[in-house]
Amino acid sequence: MSNSSQLPGFRNLSPSERIDVLSQHIDLDIEEVALLRDDGALSIEIADGMIENVLGKFELPLGLASNFMINGRDVLVPMVVEEPSVVAAASYMAKLARPGGGFLTSSSAPLMRAQIQIVGLGDPANARLSLLRNKHRLIDLANTKDQLLNKLGGGCRDLEVHTFMESPRGPMVVVHLVVDVRDAMGANTVNTMAETVAPLIEEVTGGTVRLRILSNLADLRLARAQVRIAPECFETSEFTGTDVIDRIIDAYTFAAIDPYRAATHNKGIMNGIDPLILATGNDWRAVEAGAHAYACRNGHYGSLTTWEKDREDHLVGTIEMPMPVGLVGGATKTHPLARLVLKILGVKSSQELAEIAVAVGLAQNLGALRALATEGIQRGHMALHARNIALSAGARGEEVDQLVRQMVMDHDVRSDRAEALLNELRK
Ligand code: COA
């Protein structure tokens, strides 16, 4: 049994045949195969327990990006997304990255921040020193709450005090608890700790505690990925590899200097990351919030990636960003498909998942930059979007392929055109 993430011909199979290939690949048992084949993998009982006022379930396609090699390991990447060409572009760029060894990744410890806001203080500078003097008492108190986390090697590690001497409501002091949350996303853990230490903070400072909640700017929980690709990998009939690399770097520079472009550029990165976050049942809003806030850390909104040329004229790309994801708790635990997705990924820790997520983001960014800087986004995207258009015009079975072929050949992918073609075909 091969465990390569290269899946030749996978794109031409039916969904059922793809499940067969996958189950040979990673040894899925009968129940796991049934989860993928069954439209109702998430039971209504579980769904009803997950959120409030449940009416039903809302489905999205689950695709598999191929070709990823990350730190020398082949990784199949499940992606839940409604947008065509995302999975194809990620697979394509992962394929181009393979000859150079794929993606190399690293990450910081899984440290999250909880914030505790203190108001009603006339002496913020004095309050700050009182808090720092009582730092170990506060950290010890925070650590009384989660014995399991302590046993796993996590827990509150540090305390910072941020002082705002002036605000429209007077001075404000904000305590940050820095907590190693191990394999959890950590929101509940750090919120509980923040609530636990609040009375002692009031006693120490004489102020009044208001908010006690995590920060989504998870700038101490960073994941990183690098990639290096030779010019010949980018060669086409129209462009030399070196030309493509220069064009990609120009496109990146545009994002680095212009926030209007940076927003779209970073959205393209999240096109790769969000589908993986969603597939693993993690909180993609938290990841989004952290990403965009981090992109502003230097005082202006910029790119989350960098693209440069090394001494041998290879393209080198990097990404570094907050990645607050977990393997335990929340929907990751309750959604049966999320569990299966973690098995497909073969991840053992939240850090490993975080690193895969940023590697996919880097690949996705490259996919969009390469297309934009050369042939433009529409050819590849619209060819794949044509299937959507054909389906929404009412085409089924064989008709879909016929309509797609015709619209792509005519460079005319539109709903009214699809409807007209379908009418002709059915006559
Ligand atoms: N399904 C799965 N993978 C696909 C695919 C499909 N329909 N089409 C392309 N790929 C991937 C595969 O990895 C393929 O390698 P393989 O043939 O060994 O399996 C690789 O891409 C190259 O395939 P090819 O048919 O030569 O692709 P192309 O040159 O026509 O490129 C896109 C098509 C969509 C991949 C390319 O245009 C692209 O990357 N566009 C950017 C899309 C993007 O950024 N979208 C998001 C925002 S709009």
User: Does the structure show a pLDDT above 90 at 165?
Assistant: yes
Query: Which ligand 1 atom lies nearest to the CA of residue 94?
Result: 13
* H and E: helices and strands count for the chain: 17, 10
Rounded distance between C-alpha atoms, residue 265 and residue 344, angstroms? 29
Calculate how far, in angstroms, residue 240's C-alpha sits from the geometric centre of ligand 1.
19
pLDDT of 133: 98
Q: Which of 335, 352, 381, 399 is catalytic?
A: 381
Biggest alpha carbon–alpha carbon distance for the chain: 84
Sign of the Cα pseudo-torsion (213, 217, 219, 224, in order): positive
Task: Provide mean pLDDT across the span 109-120.
Answer: 98
Task: Provide mean pLDDT across the span 103-129.
Answer: 98
Determine which residue's CA is closest to atom 22 belonging to ligand 1.
92
- Let me know: does 88 contact 384? Beta carbons within 8 Å: yes
- Let me know: does 359 contact 225? Beta carbons within 8 Å: yes
- Work out the number of other CB atoms within 10 angstroms of the CB of residue 16: 9
User: Does the structure show a pLDDT above 80 at 419?
Assistant: yes
Q: Is the CB of 377 under 6 A from ligand 1?
A: yes
Query: Which ligand 1 atom lies nearest to the CA of residue 67?
Result: 13
Encode pLDDT of 321-373 as tens digits. Answer: 999 999 998 899 899 999 999 999 999 999 999 999 999 999 999 999 999 99
User: Does the structure show a pLDDT above 70 at 258?
Assistant: yes
- Let me know: does 207 contact 118? Beta carbons within 8 Å: yes
Residue 265 Cα distances to 135, 226, 292, 360, angstroms: 41, 17, 11, 14
pLDDT of 295: 98
Which residues fall within 8 angstroms of residue 389, CB to CB, at 6 or more apart?
A: 403, 407, 413, 414, 415, 418
- Work out the number of other CB atoms within 10 angstroms of the CB of residue 342: 18
- Work out the number of other CB atoms within 10 angstroms of the CB of residue 261: 17
Encode pLDDT of 293-324 as tens digits. Answer: 999 999 999 999 999 999 999 999 999 999 99
| Residue 281 DSSP one-character state | T
pLDDT of 2: 66
3-class DSSP state for residue 79? strand
Which residues fall within 8 angstroms of residue 30, CB to CB, at 6 or more apart?
A: none
Q: Is the CB of 91 under 6 A from ligand 1?
A: yes
pLDDT band at 39 (very low <50, low <70, confident <90, very high): confident
Helix, strand, coil abundance in the chain, percent, nearest 5:
50, 20, 30
267 given a catalytic annotation:
yes
Residue 34 Cα distances to 258, 276, 391, angstroms: 48, 21, 26
Q: Which of 283, 352, 355, 399 is catalytic?
A: 283
pLDDT band at 377 (very low <50, low <70, confident <90, very high): confident
Length of the chain: 427
74 given a catalytic annotation:
no
For tokens 């020398």, name the residue: 72
In DSSP terms, 305 is beta-bridged to: 319
Q: Which of 267, 309, 343, 385 is catalytic?
A: 267
- Let me know: does 77 contact 225? Beta carbons within 8 Å: no
3-class DSSP state for residue 69? strand
Q: Is the CB of 234 under 6 A from ligand 1?
A: no
- Let me know: does 318 contact 306? Beta carbons within 8 Å: yes
User: Does the structure show a pLDDT above 70 at 1?
Assistant: no
Substitution candidate for ligand 1 out of 64, 79, 87, 92 with most atoms within 8 A of CB: 92
27 given a catalytic annotation:
no
Rounded distance between C-alpha atoms, residue 5 and residue 64, angstroms? 10
User: Does the structure show a pLDDT above 70 at 68?
Assistant: yes
Rounded distance between C-alpha atoms, residue 62 and residue 60, angstroms? 6
Calculate how far, in angstroms, residue 288's C-alpha sits from the geometric centre of ligand 1.
25
Task: Provide mean pLDDT across the span 277-288.
Answer: 98
Domains of the chain: 10-105+222-375 (3.90.770.10), 111-215 (3.30.70.420), 379-426 (no CATH)
- Let me know: does 269 contact 304? Beta carbons within 8 Å: yes
